[in-house]
Structures are given as C-alpha cells and as structure tokens.
Amino acid sequence: MTEIRLIEFFTNVGGLMQFSLRFFKYCFLPPYEFSEIKKHMDELGVKTLPIVSVTGIIIGLVLTLQSQPILARFGAEGFLPFMVSISVVRELGPVITALIFAGRVSSGIGAELGSMRVTEQIDAMEVSAIDPFKYLVVTRVIATTLILPLLVMYVNFLAIVGCYVAILLVNDITLQLYINQVIEAVKFGDLIPGISKTLVFGFIVGIVGAYKGYTADKGTEGVGKASTTSVVIASLLILIFDMILVKVSLWLWPM
C-alpha cells in the first residue's frame, strides 16, 4: 500500500510539472484569449469577494484584540498599529487569502474541468480542432494569477481598518494618528514581498485545480476526487512555497 501511494505521489508530482511546463509553452502562443481571461477574472473576483471581505475585517480585529493585552504588559500599546500592519501586509493577508482562494476557486476549477472531461466535452473540443488546453486551462490559470494580488490588497486594507476598529474598543486614537502610524510602519519593501508572492500563490491555485480537473478519472467519483484533492494539494503547496518565499524576501528586503 505504501509503495502504491509513493508511486501515485511521484506520478502526480511529475504530471503537475509537465502540466505546468505545457502551460508556459501555450501561454505565449496565439490566439490570446483576453476576453476569456477577463471573464474568468470577473467571475473569480466577484464570487470570492464576500468571503474575503469578512476575512479581512476579522483578521484585523482578532490580531489586534489578541495582541493588545500582551503589548500592554510591557507598556508598548503604541506599537499595536505597527505590529498589526506589518504582520498583515507581509504574511497573514497573503497566506490566509490564498488559502481561502484555494478552497473556493481551486475546487471549482477542478470540478468544472472534471465534469467536462467526464462528459467528454474536452474530447469533443479536440475533435472540433479547438485546443481545449489553451481555451480552458491557460485562461483560468492566468486569471487566478492576476486576480489574487488584487484580492490580497483589498484584504490588507480591510484588515488595517479592522485593526483601527479594535483599537477604538480599548483605546482612544484619532484616525489621522492611526493612518500616520500605519504609513510609517509599512514601507515599500514590506509591500513588495507580500504582493509578489501572491502571484505564485495564484498560479498554484489555478494550475493545481486545472491539472486535477483536466486529468480527472471517468465517472462522477472522478469529479469529486478532482475537486477535493485540488484543494488539499493547492493549500499544501501554498504553505510550502510561502516558507521558501519568506526566506527569499527577508534576504532581498530585510525588515
């Protein structure tokens, strides 16, 4: 059983790498489906917006309420906006948003393409001389790669707003003073690592969902498996690459 799982694991790794290389090859070949990319970006952004909006506010509220008593012990409550802003912009905002995005989008792409594979719609496109990989995979992966950074910036903003609301519950601080502290805390070198790695996270979400759906097994069980495994794999890869990118970003943009 262990040997079978190891073989399946390395088969998936190799298949995903080949699938990714195929994506980069097709990405630069015409025709360029800009209208499809825009359509998928609109759909993914609108569908994910409500849940990430709530998430952003909660991140700011919870992080502030949890940190305030600890900083108060050392008389360092004035550093609360600094700590929350840096934590959200560099790490919490990108990672939590990417994980939610993976759960919402990667499973959707896997299920959608898996259904098309099971119902032989992809085979029909190939027979009709339409390249399904270019039309179905490339457009979706580009869309997820481009839309996630925008969602992360939105979540970061809401988290900082949530932090201000939480501070008002325990302390009296003017909005102008809070904004000045946030601007002083968050430098350009803090924004670049957080936003740039979301491009990688967005690519992971799209390529994993597309791979599991595009190569789904026949039958309804294959669709369900493609949907669930795409979320697990995408979430795991996001955490692994986050660890690597944190090390790289601290080397390029030290705090």
Q: In a structure prediction context, what are the per-residue pLDDT tens digits for the chain, which is 255 residues long? A: 566 677 777 788 888 999 999 999 988 888 788 899 999 999 888 889 999 999 999 999 999 988 888 888 887 777 888 888 999 998 999 999 999 999 999 989 999 998 888 888 888 887 777 788 888 999 999 999 999 999 999 999 999 999 999 988 877 778 888 889 898 888 887 888 888 999 999 999 999 999 999 888 777 777 888 888 899 999 999 999 999 998 888 887 776
Is residue 7 included in any domain, yes or no? no
CA angle 48, 51, 55 (to 5 degrees): 125
What pLDDT score was predicted for residue 223?
A: 82
Is residue 21 included in any domain, yes or no? no
Model's pTM, two decimal places? 0.91
Is residue 104 included in any domain, yes or no? yes
Alpha-carbon distance of 26 to 14, in angstroms, equals 18
Determine which helix (DSSP H) or strand (DSSP E) holds 40, and give its type and residue range.
helix 34-73
Query: With the C-alpha atoms ordered 168, 186, 142, 239, is the resulting torsion angle positive or negative?
Result: negative
Is residue 47 included in any domain, yes or no? yes
Is residue 52 included in any domain, yes or no? yes
Q: Residues with Cβ < 8 Å from 3, sequence gap 6 or more?
A: none
Percent of the chain as helix, strand, coil, to the nearest 5: 90, 0, 10
Is residue 40 included in any domain, yes or no? yes
Q: How many domains, in total, are found in the chain?
A: 1
Task: Give the residue ranges of DSSP H helices in 137-186.
Answer: 139-170, 175-185
What's the token pair of residue 32? 């360029």
Is residue 85 included in any domain, yes or no? yes
What pLDDT score was predicted for residue 197?
A: 93
Is residue 223 included in any domain, yes or no? yes
What pLDDT score was predicted for residue 168?
A: 86
Domain enclosing residue 88, as ranges: 32-252
> Tell me, what DSSP letter sits at residue 78?
G
